[in-house]
Amino acid sequence: MGFSAAERPDCFADLNLDQVVHAVAGDDAVVAGYFHAGVRDVRDVEARQAVFRDLDDPAVAEPVRRFTATAARTRRRLGMLRRMTHQPQAGWWFVDVVLDWSAAVVALSRGLDAAGSAGLRGLRADLAEWVGHGEFPAVRERAADLLRRLGEVRYDLLLKQDRVTVAEHDPTSPGDFADRVLATFARFRRDPAEPPQPPPDLGLDEVEAAVLDLVARLHPELFADLAAFHDRHRDLPDLLPPDLDRLDAELRFHLAYLDHLAPLRAAGIPTCFPRVSATDKAFLARGAVDLALAAQLVERGQPVVGNDLELSGAERVLVVSGPNQGGKTTLSRTFGQLYHLAALGCPVPGHEVRLSLADRVFTHYPRAESSDSVASKLEEELVRMRDILDRATPRSVVVLNEVFTSTTGDDARALSLTVLDALTRLDVPCLWVSFLDELSRAGPTTVSMVSTLDDHGARTYRVVRKPADGYADAVAVAEKHGLTRARILARVRR
Amino acid sequence: MRPALLAPADSAPTAPAPVNPEVVEDLRLDALVAAMADGDDELRDLVRATVLAPLTDLAVLRHRQDVLADCLRHPGAVRALHDLARRAVAAERTVLRGAASGQAEPLLNRSRRVLGLFCGFLRELGAFADRHGRDFHSAGLTALLADVRTHVGAAYLDGVEELLRTMDFDNGIVLSARLGEGGKGVDFRLHEPPGPGRGAVPRRLRKSGLVHTITGHHEQDWRALAAFRGRALAPVAEAAARSADHVLGFFVALRDELGFHIGCLNLVDALAGLGVPTCLPRLHPAGERVLTARDLAEPCLALGTGGPVVGGDLDASGSGLVLVTGRNCGGKSTFLRALGLAQLMAQCGMVVAARDFAVSVATGVCTHFTRAEDRAMTSGKLDEELARMSRVVDLVTPGALVLCNESFAATDEREAAAIATEVLHAFVDLDVRVVFVTHLHELARTVHDGALPALSLTATDGFRIVPGPPSPTAHAGDLHARIFGDR
């Protein structure tokens, strides 16, 4: 069974992957779709990883970024140009679109030299062939020439009462009256910094359009050439590479995900490419964090705590217990996210990650809005659990968070042991947040992890294989404030 | 042209020595600031900011002291000059900005009016310079008046007023442009405004047939024309507005820089009225450990009580650590405040409340006082005190001054002494000067016996602080007996 294309997997809400995808893709449904469908074999994962590695190189990412941005802009601008009726303006903008777009394509064809992945190297070869021959270079050349000629146009104006008069420019008149005013008062200036100029408003109102028409009459040949160029190349048929939409979408997916990782990396959170195996079910993650939570914490400038997790040999189930609010649910999300993101070929937060390629991640989290009757709540939980066990394959991954809490301890224990038995027979990697610590001692496949508090009873969000306890040391108050002689000497800048 | 009454014109601005925020309350700075402001709210904010930004650059401080000395010699003239600057700034505010925001023509009109008003004040300033040119001797004031006479003389102001008149554009606007994005006219360059009569507008424009006339069929045609005129005039309106701001900036700087000195004049007047002497302190480089005073008083106490206060003499030169013990209500806190205020005031270029005062500049001034609210709290007092001391450690560097008043009183004597020993050792090692007022008798005793190099002072009857070993008698027991026992 593979990920069903384009449909959002059930686990997304539980693992907060919906938040991640929203943060990465925004309103871009095409990019969001890439997150829903994993790939089927390890070679495909590695091919995606190779593209991500390439795009991590700024030398490769920069032209690719420019290309995807320009593709979006060009689509929008061609739509607007079709509605523009004032020919001199439409002609000017069309030349601008042609130059903007063709520059991005050329930059992409030349900017992939540093790429190592098969995907981007193939793209480079195709584009190089295409931009070097036929109409593409010729159209580009003509557009550049028109823009140069338009840029050389100068004219003089007289504004008096209700008339605007245009005439040839007189190159001998200085036109520096504003400078004269400034120079007169320069002796009072303290700060040489000038205020920033507001960006120009690019729309033309009636008077500006009328002035442009007068200027066009001043330079009839230039504006005739401009109109002819626009007519002939109207929708850029000669400038759009084949299969543009798919190429653009794939590149957007990769870039958007890397952009999402960028602030985390800047905040010191390491990322890595998971080593993915089709057969080995061992699991290792060092310094792993919940991607959704980490993004929020980094935005607020708060520290992010990474955790180490491991399943080796016969171990399959991480049983997580310990104080509440200590990071148990976060750890369970981290575990599920790692499998899903790794199967997409994505880099993940962490120093090192090794895991098996999952065909699907199943999650069982408490439902806030479920029925308030105890009996039906348990029933609803059991139905969901049976559904998971029915559909899971030996290549699946299961994340359980506080199941069967609505029943008595004895019942919960018995039900949990049954589920554990089923999971063991399926032989799937699993993380199970549970208050039943005996689960962790149920056999060789289970491992215990405990959320911890620090010496003062504060949360650390660190979850470890052993419980740790401590006590506040009243004598060390001064030490705590960094006020011993040695600490002060170390703190003060000399 | 810019006034340089707080620092030499060529001095690069330096970061002020750090001061911890508690200084304001611990030293009762608000009383000092209020006396300097004398009811002027703007002056109060300005003076407060200056006092909380002590300087360490001796050249800057001496420059400021020189200007202040000039002001003390000619208070009447200086107050008149301050008043002139204040009136110029106020006059600018009477020409409303709101209506002119965002539109070139109203902005241009406003700026022309403001610049016209400023011309009047600049003429007045010129007359002041002519009258008082030889009265002042400080580099700051002599350079200012010389600048005024050189750069804003009558001929210059005549030219300015003529320029402002041509900026009415009654005979049309002539400009050059080029094509920007989308064919929009950009890079508008205004020509000299044409004068009245034929020939003022260039022939090629007068004879051109390329004319667009606003028909007025639609309201928006007129709006578009107004917008176009606005864009054409924007560079010159911008230039005029910026020029008006430059001149305003000059008057604001003059008002504010003089304001500091006016604050000092106010303070000297107030303290003189209370019989408290003031002097310009003698400043020494950081690290020289100079600290001597004759008749050093706590000015805020005098201002608060409205009467004379007891001054004291002190010679603590060479000492990095000064330990003050002695009877309660013996004037230890007052002594500490007097010292802290004098240090801050000296490092702002102000006068200090003493007959004579010599001091090394400190690279930072911090206070750590037992606080009233500490005593009301039942738990976390020590934590709060230590956190405050930790913030002091964050601020100090070698050469800083730390004033401690009954620090670590929130815990028992043994623990307090242990913590204090750590902190004091570190400060001595770091060459941070500390004046430590304490009831921790054992600590004072061991320090006095040579555990740390220190000058020991003790509070005596009559509110005098004199050199002397810490004495275990006459402490809280005394006070208790006096207040409760005599009943």
- The string of pLDDT tens digits covering residues B247-284 is 999 999 999 999 999 999 999 999 999 999 999 999 99
ipTM over 0.85: no
Q: Does B379 score more than 60 pLDDT?
A: no
- Report residue B473's pLDDT band, with 50, 70 and 90 as the boundaries: very low
What sections of B329-475 are H helices per DSSP?
332-346, 372-376, 381-395, 413-429, 441-446
pLDDT at position A194 is 57
**Which one of A179, A210, A242 terminates a domain?**
A242
User: Taking CB atoms and an 8 Å limit, are B176 and A157 in contact across chains?
Assistant: yes
Residue in A closest to B112 by C-alpha: A181
- Report residue B423's pLDDT band, with 50, 70 and 90 as the boundaries: very high
Q: Does B328 score more than 70 pLDDT?
A: no
CB-CB contact of B433 with B402 (8 Å): yes
Please give the structure tokens belonging to residue A467: 């419980």
User: How far apart are the C-alpha atoms of B324 and B309, rounded to whole Å?
Assistant: 20
Same domain assignment for residues A371 and A292: yes
Same domain assignment for residues A141 and A266: no
Residue A390 lies in a domain: yes
Same domain assignment for residues A303 and A436: yes
Same domain assignment for residues A288 and A415: yes
Same domain assignment for residues A237 and A322: no
User: Taking CB atoms and an 8 Å limit, are A218 and B160 in contact across chains?
Assistant: no
CATH at A361: 3.40.50.300
| Residue from B283, B293, B285 nearest B399 by CA | B285
Tell me, yes or no, if B80 comes closer than 8 A to chain A by beta carbon. Answer: no
How many domains is chain A built from? 2
Residues B54-63 have a mean pLDDT of: 95
Q: Does B67 score more than 80 pLDDT?
A: yes
Query: Could you tell me which residues are beta bridge partners of residue B291?
Result: B359
Closest Cα of chain B to A78: distance in Å?
A: 14
CB-CB contact of A442 with A419 (8 Å): no
Tell me, yes or no, if B175 comes closer than 8 A to chain A by beta carbon. Answer: yes
Query: Could you tell me which residues are beta bridge partners of residue A449?
Result: A320
Which tens digits make up the pLDDT trace of B198-226?
668 888 888 888 999 988 777 888 888 88
CA–chain centroid gap for B308, Å, is: 28
pLDDT at position B281 is 97
Residue A207 lies in a domain: no
CA distances for B166 relative to B75, B159, B193, angstroms: 42, 11, 7
User: Taking CB atoms and an 8 Å limit, are B390 and A188 in contact across chains?
Assistant: no
Residue A20 lies in a domain: no
| Residue from A341, A352, A355, A351 nearest A431 by CA | A355
CA distances for B56 relative to A478, B14, B360, B361, angstroms: 32, 9, 9, 6
Nearest to B383 among A176, A202, A477 (CB): A477
Chain B window 229-258: which residues touch A at a Cβ cutoff of 8 Å? 229, 232, 235-236, 238-240, 242-244, 246-247, 249-250, 253
- Report residue B463's pLDDT band, with 50, 70 and 90 as the boundaries: low
Q: What residues make up the domain containing A285?
A: 252-480
Residue A492 lies in a domain: no
Regarding predicted confidence, which is higher, A203 or B397?
B397
User: How far apart are the C-alpha atoms of A341 and A330, rounded to whole Å?
Assistant: 16
- Report residue B468's pLDDT band, with 50, 70 and 90 as the boundaries: confident
pLDDT at position A100 is 92
pLDDT at position B418 is 83
Q: Does B115 score more than 60 pLDDT?
A: yes
Regarding predicted confidence, which is higher, B481 or A65?
A65
Q: Give the pLDDT of chain A (494 residues) as one tens digit per residue.
A: 233 345 788 899 999 999 999 999 998 888 999 999 777 789 999 999 999 999 999 989 988 998 999 988 988 888 888 888 888 999 999 999 999 988 988 888 888 888 989 889 988 888 888 888 778 888 999 999 999 999 999 999 999 988 999 999 988 888 889 888 888 888 888 765 555 555 556 678 888 889 999 999 999 999 999 999 998 888 776 677 667 778 888 899 999 999 999 999 999 999 999 999 999 999 999 999 999 999 999 999 888 889 999 999 999 999 988 765 568 889 999 999 999 999 999 999 999 999 999 999 999 998 754 455 555 677 888 889 999 999 999 999 999 998 886 666 577 788 888 899 999 999 999 999 887 777 888 888 888 888 775 555 455 677 776 432 322 233 356 777 888 888 888 888 87
DSSP at B288: S
Domains of chain B, CATH where assigned: 57-206+217-273 (no CATH), 282-485 (3.40.50.300)
Tell me, yes or no, if B151 comes closer than 8 A to chain A by beta carbon. Answer: yes
| Residue from B23, B22, B32, B17 nearest B340 by CA | B23
Same domain assignment for residues A234 and A309: no
Closest Cα of chain A to B466: distance in Å?
A: 30
CB-CB contact of B395 with B15 (8 Å): no
Same domain assignment for residues A296 and A362: yes
Helices (H) and strands (E) in chain B, counts: 17, 13
User: Taking CB atoms and an 8 Å limit, are B179 and A159 in contact across chains?
Assistant: no
Nearest to A489 among B179, B185, B426 (CB): B426
Candidates A157, A189, A194, partner chain B, best to mutate (most B CBs within 10 A): A157
Closest Cα of chain A to B245: distance in Å?
A: 9
Residues B81-92 have a mean pLDDT of: 96
CA distances for B196 relative to A266, B180, B200, angstroms: 65, 32, 7
pLDDT at position B472 is 55
B160 contacts in chain A (CB < 8 Å): 184-185
Residue A337 lies in a domain: yes
- Report residue B310's pLDDT band, with 50, 70 and 90 as the boundaries: confident
Q: What angle do CA B448, B454, B458 make, to 5 degrees?
A: 65
User: Taking CB atoms and an 8 Å limit, are B210 and A154 in contact across chains?
Assistant: no
pLDDT at position B479 is 38
pLDDT at position A336 is 96
Please give the structure tokens belonging to residue A124: 């480079």
pLDDT at position B100 is 56
Same domain assignment for residues A237 and A257: no
Residues B397-410 have a mean pLDDT of: 89
Same domain assignment for residues A233 and A314: no
Residue A183 lies in a domain: no
Residue A80 lies in a domain: yes
Residue in A closest to B164 by C-alpha: A181
